[in-house]
Structure 1
């Protein structure tokens, strides 16, 4: 397969390097990633300034690689149009941190995969839980290959994003694999005043995830030690209440 790899942590991130290394042993890989950190930029695209492209070398890897001055969604758009030629699949990641629950709305990693789906290319977003002291991607890479092997034979949907999340555990301690719906994640945010050079009111944000008691969703299962896979789609219509709303707003 010809696979375009991107991310939102930047071209120099450990996660994308490990993913490119493993996938390039089995597939043709082209890396197109942001030049710097673009986490939580969502599905933003660059409109009012030029996007520049720089060819990069990923040490020890025999892959074509490019850094882009724009966002993860830009990487997919300009990569497909100018850099890669025909692509069988887009894989975004491996993200430094989980993308579960409503975090998928903010995630540049997931948004890059959604952009691929909008372009009618099968895609996967991959995220690995980390801690302050541990950032390892071996287990995630193994499960990317497992999911990819099944997907290419049985489930290459050009409008579906497969959102894969891996808990921070050794492979022997993984409890299993769950197909799960997305849950709801909320945060208690603290805006802390910092010294600003230009503006008087300058703040940085620190957030902690709120405790919750939901079950049977991706947030719950990852916390229990399961790897989760969630099919996502860019159509945000709530079909369960479509008829209900239609009956109320009968204008």
Structure 2
């Protein structure tokens, strides 16, 4: 299998190396195309006002002076890498709840499915790779064993907090709510969400889909229009 590895923290980060090594050790052919500098919070932003500048560091490693989504576009459409899977991460910090809106790690994975590629985004606790080193192979195996990949959505994987010590399992979750308040964050502890899983010792796998609208909301707004006529 041919795998493209990208991230939003930059091409020299430890999380990127852990992710690339996990697939190399599986026997996959791995290409790394990642931002030249830190690009967190860029979501799916792309560069439109000038051409992309890239640097080749090895036969299979490039850095791009651009966003994570730029890196995916450069790899697939400029380098024309014919890959089977795009993996993004491992992000230095969780991407759960409303963080998913801003995440460059997730943005890169979303750009991949726009290019008809299967994609996974991986994130873990800030400045701590102990958990991801221990669990990365387990979650990759789980995804393949259960045939969870699709070009219709990405998988957003978040590892649990280090303080939980041991993994209680892997959950398929919904996106939780992480609201900004006067305090740094107020977590929604509803079970079956990525936020709850991360706090309670589970690895979460959340399917995220690009869409142009919610069909239920479209129907609801259409009814309001009819009722007001």
TM-score where L is the length of structure 1 = 0.82
Q: 1:40 to 1:148 in 2, by over 3 A?
A: same
* Residue 159 of structure 1 pairs with residue 184 of structure 2: no
Q: What SS class does the counterpart of residue 208 from structure 1 fall into? A: coil
* Residue 34 of structure 1 pairs with residue 27 of structure 2: no
For 1:99, the equivalent position in structure 2 comes to: 95
Structure 2: runs of 5+ lacking an equivalent:
none
For 1:135, the equivalent position in structure 2 comes to: 129
For 1:55, the equivalent position in structure 2 comes to: 56
Q: What SS class does the counterpart of residue 8 from structure 1 fall into? A: coil
| Counterparts of 1:64 and 1:234, CA distance in 2 | 29
Trace 1:64-79 onto structure 2 (pairs within 5 A): 64-79=60-75
8 A Cα contact 2:177 2:187, kept in partner: no
Alpha-carbon shift at residue 140 of structure 1 (Å): 4.2
Alpha-carbon shift at residue 15 of structure 1 (Å): 0.2
8 A Cα contact 1:35 1:69, kept in partner: yes
* Residue 233 of structure 1 pairs with residue 225 of structure 2: no
Q: 1:116 to 1:28 in 2, by over 3 A?
A: same
Alpha-carbon shift at residue 45 of structure 1 (Å): 0.4
8 A Cα contact 2:40 2:103, kept in partner: yes
8 A Cα contact 1:180 1:230, kept in partner: yes
| Counterparts of 1:92 and 1:170, CA distance in 2 | 25
TM-score where L is the length of structure 2 = 0.90
- Higher alpha-carbon deviation: 100-109 or 84-93: 84-93
Alpha-carbon shift at residue 85 of structure 1 (Å): 2.3
Would you say how many aligned residue pairs link Structure 1 and Structure 2?
A: 225
8 A Cα contact 1:4 1:89, kept in partner: yes
8 A Cα contact 1:128 1:140, kept in partner: no
**What root-mean-square deviation, in Å, do the aligned CA atoms of Structure 1 and Structure 2 show?**
2.1
Q: What SS class does the counterpart of residue 98 from structure 2 fall into? A: helix
8 A Cα contact 2:172 2:192, kept in partner: no
